[in-house]
Structure 1
Amino acid sequence: MDLTTLQQTLQPFDLRSCLISSRGQLVFRHYRDERCDAELAKINSCTKSILSALICIAMDQGKLPEAGTPIRAFFPQLTKDPDHRKRDMTLEHLLTMSAGFEWTEFGGRNSFPRMTRTSNWVDFVLEQPLAHPPGSRMEYNSGASQLLSAILAQATGEDAAAFAERFLFTPLGIQDYKWEQDPQGLRTGGFGLWLRPADLLKFGLLYLQEGCWEQQRLISRELAKRSVQPVLPAAPPNRGRYAWHWWTDTYEETAEAGFDYFYARGFGGQFVYVVPSLDTVVVLTDDKRKKDRSPIDVFRRHIAPLLLR
């Protein structure tokens, strides 16, 4: 891996941070300035992958049932819904964003902004009509993540932040964070978590090591691996496939050179890429306004080719 030119290559993008760990060593470290190393920043929808980890931990502990369990066990009002298909929604449907709700995150129905303007986000999501049978297709839906946050709180008796502190953050050495709440006091499942780039790197390394951290198993190998296996094609204009609140894709430089990877993705340039075959994790963060951000996929265009050198 030759990263000697990467600092110069990244300069025009003015990223907040870029960290690369390979074979257990931090091989590249870039911050716009040293404050970015210490400051908490929004990771936006990377929060979803953190939530996925917490769901897996709760399953390992027996506090949550297996992924095929219908969510009516947590929301009994679904048994009275006129659309009987809602009774078939499972935990896995929420994790893979294939619950079938008629939902356009932004634009169209503007479902996400409408949800955040209501007094009860969970009720808003559950009351949305279905556009597809559960499990039939992936449709990006932060409302599904909020349902998962509510389910986690029901099953464990504590909110996502408290559960994370005990079973994820503290073992990883993550001491400082912020996590926003909905009007009911539930932690936001699809966004709203603030972390440092170095702590995002730890999270990526946990998954590179299939749920193990410093000889301590935080997530069972079975669920750590299952949660990042592609399940459904990502809805356009996204590429790749979708797993349990993780994205998956393949980079092919040539027919003979390439790799599979999975990643957490947050609005505004927040990414945690995990490349198991290369024993590598890449973290990218940004904080500029949309009009000031480059539309170029920095990882695929500029970093992935170097990983193969």
Structure 2
Amino acid sequence: MNLSALSNAIDTLNLKSCLISRNGQLVFEHYRNRQSAGQIAKINSCTKSFLSALICIGIDHGLVAAPETSLSEFYPQLTSDQDPRKQEITLAHLLTMSAGFNWSEFGGHNSFPRMTRSPDWVQFVLEQPMSDRPGDRMEYNSGASQLLSAILMQSTGMSTAKFAEIHLFGPLGIEDYKWEQDPQGVHTGGFGLWLRPADMLKFGLLYLQQGNWENKQLISQELLKRSVQPMLDVEAPNRGCYAWHWWTDTYLAPDELSAASFDFYYARGYGGQFIYILPSLDTVVVITDDKRKKDRSPSDVFREFIIPYIL
């Protein structure tokens, strides 16, 4: 691993932070400035992967219903909806963003900003028309994440953040965080979590260690493995597949280095927030940024600047 070359490459990108753990050791730690290390910051849609973990924990504890459970079990009004396809939506469809709602996050219907301007986000999502049969197609949908956060709250009798404090943040030693809420007090499932880079790394290490943290199984190995398996192909310009609120992909090395090819999965947040888990390399990579789009590198930082130096 060429750390000096990696450091020079990262410096040119002016990232807010870049942390790499390999074989259980923090081998690379970069911050733009001293403040970046200790400050919590928006992780945007990386929040979705934390929510996935909480849903898995809820299922493990017998508090959240099985993934195959119908959404109508939580929202009986769907049984009388004029579109019978809504009765086919399950928790697994929400987790894989394949519920079938006619939804375009930004552009088109502008579903996400319309949801955040509505007085009741959950009701807004439930009322959206259908465009596909559940399970047929992945369509990125932060509204599905909001439904999952509301279901977690309904199932456990406590807020999503409180459940996280008890079953995830507490065991990982994550004390400093912020989590936004919708008008009904439901913590935002698709965005809105603020964390330090070091705590994002802990979360990645939990997954690398198959749900085990300091000899305590926080997430069952069986459910964790299921949650990060490629399930649905994603549409361009995205690449790879989608799992339970995790993205999955494969790095294919040049022919002469074919042995260096590997599968990985990752959490992704708007603006350059990433948590990459590379099981075969026993590696976790965290990247954060806060620059405006026009000031960020157009390159795929992970593929073009990090992978070459860690292989």
Aligned to 2:93: 93
Q: How does 1:132-143 map to 2 (within 5 A)?
A: 132-143=132-143
C-alpha displacement at 1:2, in angstroms? 2.2
C-alpha displacement at 1:253, in angstroms? 1.4
Indicate yes or no: 2:154 matched with 1:154: yes
SS at match of 1:184: coil
Mapped contact 1:253–1:305 kept (Cα < 8 A): no
Aligned to 2:196: 196
Mapped contact 2:210–2:225 kept (Cα < 8 A): yes
State the Cα deviation string for residues 5-55 of structure 1 (Å, max 9, x = none): 011111121100000000000000000011101000000000000000000
CA distance in 1, matches of 2:82, 2:307: 49
Count of aligned residue pairs for this structure pair: 308
CA distance in 2, matches of 1:140, 1:305: 30
Aligned counterpart in structure 2 of residue 270 of structure 1, from 262, 268, 273: 273
Indicate yes or no: 2:213 matched with 1:213: yes
Aligned to 1:283: 286
Aligned to 2:249: 249
CA distance in 1, matches of 2:67, 2:184: 25
CA distance in 2, matches of 1:178, 1:95: 23
SS at match of 1:250: strand
Aligned sequence identity (%):
67
Residue segments in structure 2 that go unaligned for 5+ positions in a row: none
C-alpha displacement at 1:293, in angstroms? 1.0
Indicate yes or no: 2:302 matched with 1:299: yes
Equivalent residue letter for 1:99: A
Indicate yes or no: 2:261 matched with 1:258: yes
Aligned to 1:235: 235
Aligned to 2:37: 37
CA distance in 2, matches of 1:130, 1:210: 36
SS at match of 2:254: coil
Greater helix content: 2
C-alpha displacement at 1:254, in angstroms? 2.1
CA distance in 2, matches of 1:141, 1:276: 27
Indicate yes or no: 2:163 matched with 1:163: yes
SS at match of 1:64: coil
SS at match of 1:5: helix
SS at match of 1:45: helix
C-alpha displacement at 1:218, in angstroms? 0.3
Indicate yes or no: 2:104 matched with 1:78: no
Mapped contact 2:5–2:309 kept (Cα < 8 A): no
Mapped contact 2:228–2:246 kept (Cα < 8 A): yes
C-alpha displacement at 1:57, in angstroms? 0.2
Equivalent residue letter for 1:306: Y
Over the aligned positions, Cα root-mean-square deviation in angstroms equals 0.7
CA distance in 1, matches of 2:19, 2:288: 9
CA distance in 2, matches of 1:302, 1:259: 16
CA distance in 2, matches of 1:305, 1:242: 25
Residue segments in structure 1 that go unaligned for 5+ positions in a row: none
